[in-house]
Each structure stands twice: as C-alpha cells, then as structure tokens.
Amino acid sequence: MTTPDKAARHVAIIMDGNGRWAKRRHLPRAMGHRKGVEAVRELVRSLKDTPVECLTLYAFSSENWKRPEEEVDDLMNLMRKFIKSDLPEFIANDVRLHILGDWRSLAPDIVEMLEDALAQTAQGSRTLAVALNYGAHAEITQAARKAAAEGEISQESIERHLFSADLPPLDLLIRTSGEVRLSNFLLWQAAYAEMLFLDVLWPDFTPDHLTGALAEFAERERRFGGR
C-alpha cells in the first residue's frame, strides 16, 4: 500500500490518441472521441479508490480550434452530453468540478451548463479539473499581467492568479499515446512534477493504468532541485 507521503495528491493527464484509436479500427475520428469520453467516465468513478485528491484532464486546448470544424463541433456536443449525463454522478460521489482556461468564451449554452455544474458541485471533497480552451502560455501571461496590476511580480503573485491557484501542487503528469511532449499544458505547474509517458492510446486507458502510474510515482525519489 502506498504511504501518504509517497501518494500523488494531484495527477494531470494529457489524453492523447483518440484519432489514432479510431484510425486503427477504420472508424470515424468521432468514434475515438466518444470512446475517450467513456475512458474519462470510468477513470473518474475509480478515483474514490485512490489517494488522488485532484485529477486534471486536458480536454480541449486553445490550439484545438485549428481542427476541422466538424470535429470541433463533435467535441463540443460531446462536452454538452457529458456534463448533462454525468453531473448527477459527480454530485452523488462528492466530486467538485473545476475549470482551467478561457472557458467563458465557449458557446453560451455550454458556459451556462458549466456555471451550473460548478455551483452544484462546489462542496465536493475530491476535484475533477478540466482544461477547456486552455493554453499554458496564455495562462502564465494573464497571471503575470494581473500580478503586475497589483504592483508586484513574483513567483507567489503569479501563482495566485493561475487557473490552478486553489488546487494542490501538481505531483504527476501523464501523457498517453506514446508522444513525449507537454503541448502547452500546465507548463508552470509541471516545474517539479514527475512525468510518465505511456504507449497506450487514451480510449484504451483504464483505472488499472492509473493504479500502475501511482505505484511507479511512489517508487520515485523527488528532490525538487536538491540532493
């Protein structure tokens, strides 16, 4: 069993590989995204059996708008369906929703759904943070501007204005699909996070993969720049 001091409190995942999953099966990309949502659902359900207090998922980046309009529309519709179908389960399982990114610039009906979900889950003890219309460069830039407007630019003042300000420090960052890069995700928060790159496509990611990742994290020695 993982001891508390070796447990990852905050885990973030770059959910990569939906398109390749579909392509390998000669299916439309939309089917890969739908299967990816199912993987998210199962993972969130499994959190109660782990030491993870906060799970952050990279759902839609600010760069994803460059994708074909049909694919973006499908992703937005999936988001609508996921919020509507899973909100009661979040509430029942004491899960708090948190959003990172410029999500208020999404479609008005999605913004309204998210505002309602945030309000209804505000008292949850375990957090699901979702990065929507998110880019780390933009996050750091806006945080620095707000810090400067207050008259002080320091590490602490910038951190106070990050989207993750009220989340635990990031312990472990996972990327699926075998790609080895951060793709403008949590660049500030990942400064001393452990990283794990898995050669599994996101729709095939299961709670067992998370369990394995947490076990590997517990075996690592974190020095934070020291010896």
For the chain, what are the domain ranges?
Answer: 4-218
Distance of CA 79 to the CA centre of its chain: 14
The rounded distance, in Å, linking the Cα atoms of 120 and 92 is 11
**6 alpha carbon, distance to own chain's centre:** 21
pLDDT above 50 for 1:
no
221 has a pLDDT exceeding 90? no
Q: Is 16 a catalytic residue?
A: yes
The encoded tokens of residue 86 equal 């899973």
Active-site residue (options: 16, 74, 86, 171): 16
CA distance 43 to 55: 9
Decide if pLDDT at 124 tops 60. Answer: yes
Place of tokens 């410029």: 102
Residues belonging to the chain: 227
Task: Please state the rounded mean pLDDT for residues 202-225.
Answer: 93
8 A C-beta contact, residue 6 and residue 19: no
| CB distance 58 to 185 below 8 Å | yes
Among the options 5, 64, 184, 208, which is catalytic?
A: 64
103 is in an annotated binding site: no
The CATH class given to the 4-218 domain equals alpha beta
Does position 46 have pLDDT exceeding 60, yes or no?
yes
Annotation marks residue 93 as catalytic? no
Rounded Cα distance between 98 and 171, Å, is 18
- Residue 98 assigned ligand-binding role: no
Cα–Cα distance list, 216 to 14, 82, 122, 194, 211 (Å) = 18, 30, 31, 10, 9
Q: How much is the pLDDT for 222?
A: 85
Model confidence pLDDT, tens digit, residues 106-122 = 999 999 999 999 999 99
Model confidence over 70-109: pLDDT tens digits? 999 999 999 999 999 999 999 999 999 999 999 999 999 9
Mean of pLDDT over the chain:
94
pLDDT band at 227 (very low <50, low <70, confident <90, very high): low
Give me the mean pLDDT over the 141-148 stretch: 97
Residues near 212 by Cβ (< 8 Å), separated by ≥ 6? none
16 is known to lie in a ligand binding site: yes
User: Is 227 annotated among the ligand-binding residues?
Assistant: no
Q: What percent of the chain has pLDDT over 90?
A: 93
